């Protein structure tokens, strides 16, 4: 038993935890809001810790500030001009399993939990009351993630990520003006991230740190 514990502690100590800082932007939309396109720009910044698992696999835990939402410019010239801006800002904790191929590209998949810390919704340039006051968004957002990164220079990586909510963030009722039609739609966060990642203590092959 003592020998087993000693061997386990030795293996844990041998693991190199790789820290990193993350900075980038999102192109976001909300499925189910009757607004189309990844038109909402937002920040995606934070830090992460990566634990290698053997030669190719690793586990990464992140802590990020993540700005999501939706945007549409004016569509008409009257007071109901169709303009729409939705801001959903989260503190988010993604967890990923990653595979690195030949020390070049790293592909990963995982999930994240986000906590809504700020939200605002403006419809028709403020000419109509915000729907968010009547039916607020869920404070928790659960997402699936697909992730790909490439080396740029030494410990600097380029990162592309796609994420989608696995549970609805709100159910909205639509009542278009000058019409008796009504319908409801569940809403989901849907976004792409483009980031750069600096790995603090990643081992550099055939180079001096």
Domain residue spans of the chain: 17-199
In this predicted model, what pLDDT tens digit does every residue of 149-208 receive, in sequence order? 999 988 899 999 999 999 999 998 887 666 677 889 999 999 999 999 999 887 766 544
Q: Record the pTM.
A: 0.84
Q: Which of 45-54, 110-119, 168-177 has the lowest mean pLDDT?
A: 168-177
How much is the CA Rg of the chain, to the nearest whole Å? 21
Tell me which of 87 and 5 has the higher pLDDT.
87
Between the alpha carbon of residue 106 and those of residues 10, 30, 101, 149, 205, the distances in Å are 27, 28, 6, 5, 16
Q: What pLDDT digit, counting tens, does each position of 83-114 carry?
A: 899 999 999 999 999 999 877 889 999 999 99
**Per CATH, the architecture of 17-199 is what?**
Beta Barrel (2.40)
8 Å CB contact between 152 and 106: no
């Amino acid at each position: 038993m003592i020998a087993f514990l000693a061997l386990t502690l030795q293996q844990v100590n041998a693991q190199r935890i790789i820290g990193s800082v993350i900075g980038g932007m999102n192109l976001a939309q909300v499925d189910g809001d009757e607004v189309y396109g990844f038109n909402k720009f937002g920040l995606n910044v934070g830090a992460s810790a990566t634990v290698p698992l053997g030669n190719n696999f690793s586990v990464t835990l992140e802590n990020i500030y993540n700005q999501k939402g939706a945007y549409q410019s004016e569509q008409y010239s009257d007071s109901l001009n169709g303009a729409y801006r939705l801001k959903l800002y989260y503190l988010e904790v993604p967890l990923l399993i990653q595979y690195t191929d030949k020390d070049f590209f790293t592909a990963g998949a995982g999930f994240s939990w986000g906590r809504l810390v700020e939200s605002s919704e403006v419809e028709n340039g403020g000419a109509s009351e915000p729907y968010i006051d009547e039916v607020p968004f869920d404070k928790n957002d659960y997402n699936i993630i697909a992730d790909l990164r490439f080396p740029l220079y030494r410990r600097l990586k380029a990162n592309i990520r796609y994420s989608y909510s696995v549970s609805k963030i709100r159910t909205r009722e639509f009542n278009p003006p000058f019409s008796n039609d009504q319908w409801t739609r569940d809403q989901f966060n849907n976004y792409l991230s483009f980031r750069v990642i600096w790995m603090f203590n990643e081992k550099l092959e055939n180079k001096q740190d």
